[in-house]
Amino acid sequence: MSNSLPITVLGMMSGTSLDGTDLCACHFTESQNTWHFEILAAQTVPYPAEWVETLKGAMDLSGYDLAFTHAALGRYFGTLAATFIEENKLKIDLIGSHGHTVFHQPQHGFTCQIGDGAQIAAITGVDTVCDFRTKDVALGGQGAPLVPLGDKYLFAEYAGCLNLGGIANISYEENGNRKGFDICPANMILNLLANSQGNEYDDRGKMAASGKIIPELLERLNRLSFYSQQGPKSLGREWLEKEFLPATGIGNSKISYADAANLAHTICEHIAMMHAEAFKGIKEEGSILVTGGGAFNTYLTDRIAALSGRKITVPEASIINYKEALVFGFLAALYQNNRVNIFNSATGSLRNNIGGALYKAG
């Protein structure tokens, strides 16, 4: 492929917390082996209620219905992107779309992100890179986390980069390699508890802060086998529903505010403990950058800082909200320039590789 730098890319991200689709238009330049970026425009479009329900139940769809949903979600993403580009009067060279994860089972050799990139390219008239994870899984890797490469090149001033999204993941330098892995569930479970009380999320962690520890639950969560695994590792919604939720005892019945507060308080403590353990591998002095929706949960970030003893930096809102979308735009830019965009030091695959599938607009 020919070099196409500098480049303006629209990154699109749909996370496991189902709070919406993040769109981030970013201009990337490279000078003397150092990358620079400028966010031109960014927006989160909340999912309509019907899409929330569809995506929540996507794992149980028939083959026909999953294929139908894959195409329909691609059209939805394409329409969002086209509107965003037009409203912000942008000239976009490339789109990088993560899609929405339905299945993630690298131990069985597959991962599935829906939201057809061909539909996005057709609607926007812009070349689109998608399906970033499958190649890495084919190479024996976890296909996740992929953000560590962006952390290394775009946020190198921090000792580590933590994403508190639906699932929390961390990346940092270790012996010259970028290490990264999923730590534990975060907003996926905390938002579920907030939803039980009629709220979209727990504002600044106020509900969790009002609760009390449930000792036996904390001990049960801390003993889950995932936390004893070494090396690159990743989590998906399947694990949450099969392992984590049954351990909490949370069912479909109505939960009182007091019970939800105690559960949230205990789960926040569990999350903070798992982070304190994960941070032990970060030898470098310095601050840890915290992004993702959980960065606004001050109770949770305070507990992580207290238990880990590390300095936490919460950046400006545009970085908190759009760092993942920005990084998937960056991965697409690297793909377009025939450069490695996945580190096997983070995913455990056989080698560094170029992940993604390109749909040409023409």
Q: What string of DSSP letters covers 38-50?
A: EEEEEEEEPPPHH
For residue 191, which phi and psi values (nearest 5 degrees)? -65, -35
Tell which residue, 304, 225, 312, 206, has the closest CA to residue 264: 206
The model's pLDDT over 134-183, given as tens digits with 9 standing for 90+, comes to 999 999 999 999 999 999 999 999 999 999 999 999 999 999 899 999 99
What average pLDDT does the structure give for the chain? Answer: 96
- Specify the pLDDT at position 350: 98
- Specify the pLDDT at position 256: 96
Q: Where in the chain is the domain with CATH 3.30.420.40?
A: 7-144+322-359, 149-318
Round to whole Å and give the CA distance between 348 and 137.
Answer: 9
The model's pLDDT over 225-269, given as tens digits with 9 standing for 90+, comes to 999 998 899 999 899 999 999 999 888 788 999 999 999 999 999
Band (3; pLDDT cuts 50, 70, 90): low
The residue-averaged pLDDT of 275-286 equals 94
The model's pLDDT over 27-86, given as tens digits with 9 standing for 90+, comes to 999 998 899 999 999 999 999 999 999 999 999 999 999 999 999 999 999 999 999 999
Question: Is the torsion defined by CA of 327, 357, 333, 153 positive or negative?
Answer: positive
Biggest alpha carbon distance in the chain? 60
pTM: 0.91
- Classify residue 336 as exposed, middle or buried by CB count within 10 Å of its CB (0-12, 13-18, 19+): buried
Query: Out of 1.10.760.10, 3.30.420.40, 2.60.40.10, 3.40.50.620, which CATH number does the structure's domain 149-318 have?
Result: 3.30.420.40
Instruction: Reduce the secondary structure of 245-261 to three states and give it as a string.
Output: HHHHCCCCCCCCHHHHH
- Specify the pLDDT at position 307: 98
The class level of CATH for 7-144+322-359 reads alpha beta
Round to whole Å and give the CA distance between 147 and 327.
Answer: 6
- Classify residue 220 as exposed, middle or buried by CB count within 10 Å of its CB (0-12, 13-18, 19+): middle
User: Beta partners for 163?
Assistant: 169, 291
User: Beta partners for 21?
Assistant: 14, 45
